[in-house]
Amino acid sequence: MERLAWGGKGVAHGSDGRLLLLEAPLALFPGETVEAQVIWKAHHGEGRVTRWITRDPRRVPAACPVAAVCGGCELWEAGGHGPALKRQMVEDLFRRQLGEVDWTWRPAPPEARRHRIQLHWDGTALGYFRRHSHALVPVSACPAAAEPLSAALPRLLDALEGGALPHRPQRWELATGTPAREVRATDERGRTWRLEPDGWTRDEDPLRHDLGATVLKHGPGAFFQVSPPWAAQAFGDLLEGWDLRGGTLFDLYGGVGLFSALLGRRFVHRMLVESGEEAVAWARQNLEALGLSSECLVADADAWVPEGLGAPGDLILLDPPRAGLTPGLCERLQTAGAETLVLVGCDGAAFCRDLKRLAPAWRLEALAALDLFPLTSLVECVALLRR
């Protein structure tokens, strides 16, 4: 296996030179020799590793008992070398997609944990989906999750089995605030219960994240960063270093206001655009409470962005969902009046594609990758662009 491609797949070549993409649970290290079941297509092959012939000496025993089958994490056997593997993967992606560019890498601190996890209850068992399957892997603890969430798993199972919570098969989200203490369970209908010493109690209160000087609240269903304290620190340090300031901050795909909260004081005006009605209501409250009066709009950011958006001195910050920006939006951003743009993306391939689409008008000034999703092959990419 020669190198790691974006998404954590190992790249090898068949004897006829055809590209071979290999997938393995628990991480692949470049240089390892493996056996794999391969399906050959016209121009490439795709395979799953079935046995290691030589193993990288850095490989460690997984610290999670279900790591080999659970679809939640991929890098348990990489241990402390996981961040270095991801760095190699990002390096490969950026070099192939963007050429020789400078970029900075921020590994995750060892204590970063997930503050929300999605579980499935099938009427008898509670767990995560197996890799590539909708079959359940029952779990009674999750070392990738914040400790109170992991400790709440047996309590959730008890309540589902005993009928204290709705028994019908469905997906559940367990979430906690920052610092991680209180635990909420939310069902598919958005109904939420808080875990108390004597059981689960219906709850309408928001989750609260104390992130240094910033407090952000949101309903349990709204999007928020998976590891909030680590994400706020990593984004905060990066954006602080870029010293962005000016007239209007356009926080597009703004969620409940994380970037407006982190950057808002450096701008005279703030405008947040987000499609989720509930998220916008929370953004308004959050920013108001921080003394950062902002115009917060419920809108499709893609459709909302006009030709000629902003003026010199303004910042357009875009943090779209994984699929990235549409070609039409990239086209309209070519004529923006603003001269600074920040693009955030958790799918590196879509992110590089969008940088290339923006390139006619926008020059890449700085690039960073943040390991916001430890134990998985996902990475948050952030670019600073100038007109």
Point out which residues bind ligand SAM (CB under 6 A). Answer: 223-225, 253-255, 258-259, 273-276, 279, 300-302, 319, 321
Pair of tokens at residue 288: 């108001």
Q: Kindly give the pairing relationship between strand 340-345 and strand 380-386.
A: antiparallel
Quote the least distance from Cβ 62 to ligand SAM, whole Å.
Answer: 29
Q: Which is nearer to ligand SAM, 20 or 316 (CB)?
A: 316
User: For residue 223, with 0-12 CB atoms within 10 Å meaning exposed, 13-18 middle and 19 or more buried, which class applies?
Assistant: middle
Task: Count CB atoms within 10 A of the CB of residue 213.
Answer: 11
Residue nearest to ligand SAM (CB): 255
Q: Which is nearer to ligand SAM, 105 or 223 (CB)?
A: 223
- Which residue(s) pair with 38 in the sheet? 47
Residue appearing with tokens 């367990």 = 174
Contact 155, 125 (CB under 8 A): no
Quote the least distance from Cβ 346 to ligand SAM, whole Å.
Answer: 7
Length of the chain in terms of residues written = 387
Q: Which is nearer to ligand SAM, 137 or 263 (CB)?
A: 263
Q: Which is nearer to ligand SAM, 68 or 303 (CB)?
A: 303
Contact 202, 192 (CB under 8 A): yes
Quote the least distance from Cβ 1 to ligand SAM, whole Å.
Answer: 32
Quote the least distance from Cβ 113 to ligand SAM, whole Å.
Answer: 18
Q: Which is nearer to ligand SAM, 47 or 324 (CB)?
A: 324
State phi, psi for 228 to the nearest 5 degrees: -55, -45
Q: Which is nearer to ligand SAM, 77 or 274 (CB)?
A: 274
Q: Which is nearer to ligand SAM, 174 or 216 (CB)?
A: 216
Q: Kindly give the pairing relationship between strand 295-298 and strand 116-121.
A: unpaired
Quote the least distance from Cβ 257 to ligand SAM, whole Å.
Answer: 8
Quote the least distance from Cβ 340 to ligand SAM, whole Å.
Answer: 17
Long-range contacts of residues 93-98, Cβ cutoff 8 Å, at least 24 apart = 93/5, 93/6, 93/348, 93/349, 93/352, 94/348, 94/352, 94/367, 97/349, 97/352, 97/353, 97/355, 97/356, 98/352, 98/355, 98/356, 98/364, 98/367
Q: Which is nearer to ligand SAM, 1 or 258 (CB)?
A: 258
Q: Which is nearer to ligand SAM, 321 or 360 (CB)?
A: 321
Supply the angle between the helices 82-98 and 348-358 in degrees, to the nearest 10: 30
The dihedral formed by the CA atoms of 247, 354, 272 and 232, expressed in degrees to the nearest 10: -90
Quote the least distance from Cβ 242 to ligand SAM, whole Å.
Answer: 16
The single-letter code of the amino acid at 267 is F
Q: Which is nearer to ligand SAM, 84 or 297 (CB)?
A: 297
The single-letter code of the amino acid at 315 is L
Quote the least distance from Cβ 199 to ligand SAM, whole Å.
Answer: 31
- Which residue(s) pair with 119 in the sheet? 172
Quote the least distance from Cβ 182 to ligand SAM, whole Å.
Answer: 20
Quote the least distance from Cβ 15 to ligand SAM, whole Å.
Answer: 42
Specify the 3-state DSSP secondary structure of 291. coil
